[in-house]
Amino acid sequence: MSSNSDDGDDDLVVLKCSDPHRTDPEADLTEIFVSTAEICSWDLVSILTHEIVTVKASRNRLGEHSSYFRGLLCGSFSESCLNYISIKWNLEAFMSILKFIFGFHVDVTFHNFVALFEGALFFGVEMLLSKCKSWLIDATSSKGLCSPQIQLEDLIHIWRFGIEHANDFIPELCTSYLARNFMWAIYCNSFPYVPDNLLVSSIKHPDLTIDSERHLANAFIVWLSASTGQFESLGSTRNDWSGILEEIRISLLPLWFAAGKRRCCYFSKFAEESIDTIFTLVSCPSTSMMNVFGDDDSCHLKIRLTKYTKKLDLSGCPQINSMILLMAMLPCSYGTDLVMTKVKQSSISLEGIDGDKCQIAWPLLPTVSFEAVEEVYISNCPRLRLEAAIECFCKSFPSLRVLKAAHYLDFKMTKLRQLVRKCPLLAEVDLTVDVSPVIPSQVAIVSSSPAITLRASTASLEIDSYSSDASNLYMSRALLSNVTKLTLEGRVDVSDYDLKNISEFCSSLCYLNLRGCTSVTDAGISVLVLRSANLHSLVVCDTSFGRNSVLALSSGIPNLDHLPTQQIEKKHAKSLAFKLQVLHMGGCNGVDEITLSELISETPMLRSLCLRETQIVDNTFHSFLGSSLEMLDVSDTKVSEAALAHIISRNPGLKCLKAKGCRNLFLQKSKIEVGDFPPFRDSCKEWYIELGKTCTLEEIAIGWGFSCFSLEVLKPAITTLRAITVGLGAALGHDALELLPTTCPLLEEVILYFQVISDRVLINIMESLRYLQVLALCHCLGEISPVSFNFSMPSLRKLRLERATPWMTNADLAVLIQNCANLIELSLLGCRFLNSDSQQIISSGWPGLISIHLEDCGEVTKNGVASLFDCVAVEDILLRHNGPGIQRNFILEAASKMPMLRKISLDVCDASEGDFDIPNFADRYYLSIVKIAKCKRERCGLDFQTLRRTPVHRETLVLVWDSKNLTRTVIKERV
């Protein structure tokens, strides 16, 4: 369209424009005169500040491009002969329409679409209508978000405009866009204001894209909660809510989510139905699943997948099995009866099949490829065989890059090579399991059987020297996988042989997590480290990480001359240690002081450093040259004030500091010689001063020497604090604890050990900290009463009351439930007035609990354990010294009734028959760790005929299952 700015005087018409809905008090009440002959120089911002805009425009141009002006100026109307027309319309929109008519570009955005489209519709500017329509089609047809500036309220506004003006294409485009980008929408502040018709139509749209059915259910609950007032004002009934909620496929919800929503007023009915369905699916084999539900209900078992899905999250669903996963990969037209026919033709059952047999079944079915899927989360899915899932993923998810599959004990490490081979684009793999409580460096082992046999002799992996020639191992093998992040945390079945294999086909590793892998040796770790040229993050807490591994990190790496040395020696710049950004080696006692100091001196790029329970000395910190630390953990070490102050002064970006259990921080004089560190203020609290002056913290854990004075000095650094742990040796006092919510208003986690607390302190915490999610009072002194818990804390998720509320009764427990309704973890220790009725109060009040710890709590288990089984989603349960009524078969019964249960802790004192049956390897269900403590009764020193009333711990039997066997270990400690 070309501009027509040369208007003849005999062809002009005057448009007097005003906005009838304008309410701007700062508007210029004067009139401004402009001409389309000068349209190229219009300053719209200035023009629109006036109340009236008078425009001289070409009569012919208006008639050519606007049916409104064509009829008005060229037709039989009386105004046709007039040279003056009054226009009452939105000024900004009309001026933009004029610019478009006269050949100038107009940007269409989500913000102005309605105004431009409505104006173009009224004034009959067909070309602008076409432009708006094309823009909306293009903007809403993209796979992702069309613009970072898009707002959900703009989308709602456009949809409503389309509904009101009977433009079907607009609502259809908006609905489709919302369906494809539903995960984005549910996190928008305006989501509760989405009209019900738009919400329902987007849910029913075939392109609805969500990460999981849980997200859809939670979105509905949030929407209903915010819309309750609107429903009531419209006279709507509960049936309206049910109609919306029925769109949720409740058979695909995580068990913990469904259990937790039992008390939700909108969702309680559906939660119960979901739990019943989940247990039905768990109890029936895959091949008979369709016989139970039938073809009509099979759609409720189909996982939502579209061509726009990028993430699939099935975590926490014990009902998910190979058949349900397979159904999601089939074309919509593929009937379930045909699926069963094909499965029967394969002569195998999908239930419990391994990867090799799965190859037989899958090619028989026309599975669909979902190329957009990049992330899959299947952690805590006990019925889904990981090997079978891999066969499915490699065929249907060719772009898979992230796989999180935690708590798969049955997955053998020998299958890892197969996994990365079948999914060649995989970059991140998480195979975490629960870390065993049997850490040799932390417990005294009395006996252990059977011993885990390494698959290869560690002698063959010994490395005599780590000279620069050894670095040639880096280039010894071709790159076979794209895996850069590998997490094997807690896997005691990982051996040195496995690490050697991993080093051969995962040579691109950047992040490696071996925390709690107690079966690997220092030599085995060193081999993997030595062959990982790209390694920058290493987590080896509670392993045998030692001198050999340190030498491997210090070895030279070829072809790294491009790295800047800064002020580091050149030989250090060419080592793996120099590139390290994360080094977590807490609990690794195999590294002596000298070796540790040498390693730390070579790691100037570190951003996260964990040295808890190591042999760190002050000279180690003196040798650290880095300035980028964001996390530092020196808990339970001998580090001194001056050393800690030195490291803090060099790292102003520190966000997390953990120094609990550091007794040397309490000493009045530093053990460091005066010349070793830069001079500080003449104060015994040097590091507090330096921290308050230098950093902005988000998390802190402190103990010895921490006081009210320390908190005062730290104020500038802790105003944005999210989590605080105050441990043994700290003495904050009532005043400091009472000021804590004011000083740190954003706290989400407060953990107090051995502090003096009162009702006033606790009330202030519960009243003021609206974001608090974790509260722990452990062995605290002082007097608190039930009054402290008479305040609503809907955000609280985890609560530990250990030796802090001995007065608690069932009535107090009921009040606690009312005010802390959303707990998922509960730990009570020393509540001696509780009884067997407490079980029912806990299970009905907190049905969504995933962790229950009850110890020394009166007679909770005197009459056995029955009501706690109603907490069906529990993953961790501890019952000790609560009454000798627990049945002999409790472990097996709990595992069968709680499909997510992985950890059980008991005490023989509570066994009704004097002991507990131990399940065999095949019948353990999902269990990974069982701890059974044993006590003894000591005779009183004054009366040899009298036994002490309180049992004394003797030993603990720890049972740990892995992918190969069960290990029984007896340790002295109570864990």
| Secondary structure (DSSP) of 353-419 | --HHHHHHHGGGS-PPP-TT--EEE-TT-TTS-HHHHHHHHHHH-TT--EEE-TT-TT--GGGHHHH
Cα separation, 83 vs 88, whole angstroms: 17
**Which residues touch 363 (CB under 8 Å, ≥6 apart)?**
none
SS3 891: helix
**Which residues touch 751 (CB under 8 Å, ≥6 apart)?**
723, 724, 725, 726, 774, 775, 776, 778, 800
Q: Is residue 810 over pLDDT 50?
A: yes
Mean per-residue pLDDT, 959-973: 92
- Write down the pLDDT at residue 403: 97
**Which residues touch 175 (CB under 8 Å, ≥6 apart)?**
159, 198, 201, 202, 205
Average pLDDT, the chain: 85
Cβ 517 vs Cβ 541: under 8 Å: no
Q: 21 pLDDT band (50/70/90 cuts)? A: confident
Question: Which tops the pLDDT comparison, 175 or 362?
Answer: 175
Count how many Cα atoms sit within 13 Å of the Cα of residue 621 in the half-sphere of its side chain.
30
Residue in the block written with tokens 């197969």:
418
Cα separation, 342 vs 348, whole angstroms: 10
Query: Which range is least confidently modeled, 48-52, 324-328, 347-351, 778-782?
Result: 347-351
Query: Within 10 Å of residue 340's Cβ, how many Cβ atoms?
Result: 17
| DSSP-assigned states of every residue in 71-121 | HHHHSSSGGGG-SEEEEES-HHHHHHHHHHHTT------TTTHHHHHHHHH
Q: 707 pLDDT band (50/70/90 cuts)? A: confident
- Write down the pLDDT at residue 685: 62
- Write down the pLDDT at residue 915: 94
Query: Within 10 Å of residue 558's Cβ, how many Cβ atoms?
Result: 12
Mean per-residue pLDDT, 501-521: 94
Residue in the block written with tokens 């866009």:
177
Mean per-residue pLDDT, 674-691: 56
Residue in the block written with tokens 């401004």:
32
Burial class for 728, CB neighbours closer than 10 Å (0-12, 13-18, 19+): middle
- Write down the pLDDT at residue 668: 47
Cα separation, 329 vs 397, whole angstroms: 10
- Write down the pLDDT at residue 353: 46
Query: Which range is least confidently modeled, 28-37, 71-80, 406-415, 794-803?
Result: 71-80
- Write down the pLDDT at residue 588: 94
pLDDT in tens, 266-275: 899 999 999 9
The CATH number that domain 480-490+498-557+573-628 falls under is 3.80.10.10
- The type of residue at 71 is G
Q: How far is CA 70 from the centre of its chain?
A: 60
Q: Which CATH superfamily is domain 10-141 in?
A: Potassium Channel Kv1.1; Chain A (3.30.710.10)
Q: How are beta strands 966-971 and 952-961 bridged, if at all? A: antiparallel
Entry pTM: 0.88
Residue in the block written with tokens 């003021």:
768
Cα separation, 552 vs 527, whole angstroms: 8
pLDDT in tens, 302-341: 899 999 999 999 999 999 998 888 888 888 766 555 655 5
Q: 298 pLDDT band (50/70/90 cuts)? A: low
Q: Is residue 714 over pLDDT 70?
A: yes
Q: Is residue 146 over pLDDT 80?
A: no
- Write down the pLDDT at residue 366: 77
Query: Within 10 Å of residue 305's Cβ, how many Cβ atoms?
Result: 18
Q: How far is CA 787 from CA 510, 692, 765, 766, 783, in A?
A: 52, 35, 13, 11, 11
- Write down the pLDDT at residue 439: 93
Q: How far is CA 552 from CA 42, 114, 488, 546, in A?
A: 70, 64, 20, 10
**Which residues touch 425 (CB under 8 Å, ≥6 apart)?**
398, 399, 400, 401, 482
Q: Is residue 676 over pLDDT 50?
A: no
Q: Is residue 238 over pLDDT 60?
A: no
Q: Is residue 354 over pLDDT 80?
A: no
Query: Within 10 Å of residue 254's Cβ, how many Cβ atoms?
Result: 26
Q: Is residue 419 over pLDDT 80?
A: yes
Nearest to 59 by CA among 97, 126, 10: 10
Nearest to 398 by CA among 422, 377, 427, 429: 422
Q: 734 pLDDT band (50/70/90 cuts)? A: confident
Cα separation, 657 vs 644, whole angstroms: 10
Rounded percentage of the chain residues whose pLDDT exceeds 90 = 61
Query: Within 10 Å of residue 203's Cβ, how many Cβ atoms?
Result: 19
Query: Which range is least confidently modeled, 579-583, 623-627, 709-713, 932-936?
Result: 709-713
Q: Is residue 8 over pLDDT 60?
A: no
- Nearest-Å Rg of the Cα atoms of the chain is 34
Highest-confidence segment of 511-515, 554-558, 966-970: 511-515
Dmax (CA) of the chain: 125
Cα separation, 289 vs 266, whole angstroms: 29
Sign of CA dihedral 796, 797, 803, 805: positive
Cα separation, 380 vs 926, whole angstroms: 9
Q: How far is CA 454 from CA 460, 498, 518, 519, 962, in A?
A: 12, 9, 12, 8, 14
- Write down the pLDDT at residue 900: 97
Cβ 377 vs Cβ 929: under 8 Å: no
Mean per-residue pLDDT, 426-434: 97
SS3 699: strand
Q: Is residue 840 over pLDDT 80?
A: yes
Cα separation, 799 vs 822, whole angstroms: 10
pLDDT in tens, 204-230: 999 999 999 999 999 999 998 887 655
Phi-psi domain of 729 (left: phi exceeds 0; alpha: psi -120 through 50; beta: other): left
Q: 939 pLDDT band (50/70/90 cuts)? A: low
Q: How far is CA 509 from CA 48, 464, 827, in A?
A: 60, 24, 39
Burial class for 479, CB neighbours closer than 10 Å (0-12, 13-18, 19+): exposed
Query: Within 10 Å of residue 574's Cβ, how many Cβ atoms?
Result: 20
Q: 10 pLDDT band (50/70/90 cuts)? A: low
Sign of CA dihedral 95, 97, 100, 102: negative
- The type of residue at 209 is T
